Amino acid sequence: MKPDQLLKPAPAGLYCPAGDFYIDPVRPVARALITHGHSDHARAGHGAVLATRETLDIMEIRYGEDFCGSSQAAAFGERIDLNGVTVSFHPAGHVLGSAQIAVEKDGLRIVASGDYKRGADPTCAAYEPVPCDVFITEATFGLPVFHHPEPKAEMGKLLTSLKQFPERSHLVGAYSLGKSQRVIRLLRDCGYDLPIYIHGSLARLCDYYVSRGIDLGDLRPATLEKGDPTDFRGAVIVGPPSAFADRWARRFNEPLIAFASGWMMVRQRAKQGGVELPLVISDHCDWPELTETIRELAPSEVWVTHGREEALVRWCELAGVPARPLHLVGYEDEGD
């Protein structure tokens, strides 16, 4: 069997004709396998959904309990037969519950890695390399200029700023699934044990992380209605970046806007967003991680899904690994 008979790009997403299922479809389908809970990968309205327990729970939190017709939880490493095709889920190290999906038939194995990273992250299971014939990778930061620094060093910048500007409320923008919990956990690991205030839209996901054993310390709602803005003097407030563009943010005491994202490597992006303190913290691979992963797996072929496809395809060709872009549309890297 040729790889593109087992899995091929279709308008709704990656499709397996033999198993009759899609991976991370961008429109409603009869059977979907979902790599992780970010909204560009996990959409509501499918018939049957197969995903990790955490991803199913996250989808329910975001979309309500009728987010799909029926659901089945896949444990990491469990082999599941779908119409003669074997599928299994393996940790991707991206956000809580995130998985790579291995698809196998007649001795051919394709791994769709979804979004993944190699760096340490105590809020989710670490990426596990899965040997395969074809490796499907994203390329969100697929240019040699992207080198992500050590996350704890970035957190150190926030702690330094809190000492320098003890009067100012430090507003840290971080996407609601994955990044905000990671930022809070990183702060705790750097010894910050004061209460951390969170925007209301993060509450349910933070509670869920805590219920799965990820200690986030003392979290409190960042509500101004009752108190005085000076209540939040020198405090850390975490919220989605969108909340910081509106009136909510301006009500805090001399707000200092920080933003935790892999894109903060790009100075222009920080400037345009009015970000005073950019924190380069990414849940995606940087260029060295992407290329080292391909070297380590040594697949016979690489398919690149979304991001900077061309540069990574070119790198693979120079390294002697056949590669091609899949030109899948609809993935916006919400999580970074």
Residue numbers at the binding site for Zn ion (CB under 5 A): 38, 115, 335
Q: Token pair 């992963």 is at which residue?
A: 293
Closest to 86 (Cα-Cα) out of 76, 101, 97? 101
The smaller minimum CB distance to Zn ion, of residues 115 and 289, is found at 115
Q: How far is the CB of 37 from Zn ion (least distance, A)?
A: 8
The smaller minimum CB distance to Zn ion, of residues 108 and 214, is found at 214
DSSP state for residue 265 in the 8-state scheme: G
Q: How far is the CB of 208 from Zn ion (least distance, A)?
A: 16
The smaller minimum CB distance to Zn ion, of residues 19 and 114, is found at 114
The smaller minimum CB distance to Zn ion, of residues 255 and 335, is found at 335
Closest to 173 (Cα-Cα) out of 305, 261, 54, 67? 261
Amino acid sitting at position 274: G
DSSP state for residue 125 in the 8-state scheme: P
Q: How far is the CB of 97 from Zn ion (least distance, A)?
A: 11
Q: Is 311 in contact with 143 (CB distance < 8 Å)? A: yes
The smaller minimum CB distance to Zn ion, of residues 186 and 285, is found at 285
Structure tokens at 224: 């101004």
Report d(CA 305, CA 189) in Å as an integer: 34
The smaller minimum CB distance to Zn ion, of residues 71 and 98, is found at 98
**Edge-to-edge strands, sheet with 13-16:** 8-10, 13-16, 21-23, 31-33, 46-51, 68-73
The smaller minimum CB distance to Zn ion, of residues 31 and 38, is found at 38
Q: Identify the bridge partners of residue 110 per DSSP, sorted by sequence position.
A: 103, 134
Q: How far is the CB of 158 from Zn ion (least distance, A)?
A: 23
DSSP state for residue 93 in the 8-state scheme: S
Pairing between β-strand 99-105 and β-strand 85-91 as defined by DSSP bridges: antiparallel
Report d(CA 322, CA 97) in Å as an integer: 31
Q: Token pair 């119409």 is at which residue?
A: 83
Q: How far is the CB of 95 from Zn ion (least distance, A)?
A: 6
Q: How far is the CB of 136 from Zn ion (least distance, A)?
A: 14
Q: How far is the CB of 96 from Zn ion (least distance, A)?
A: 11
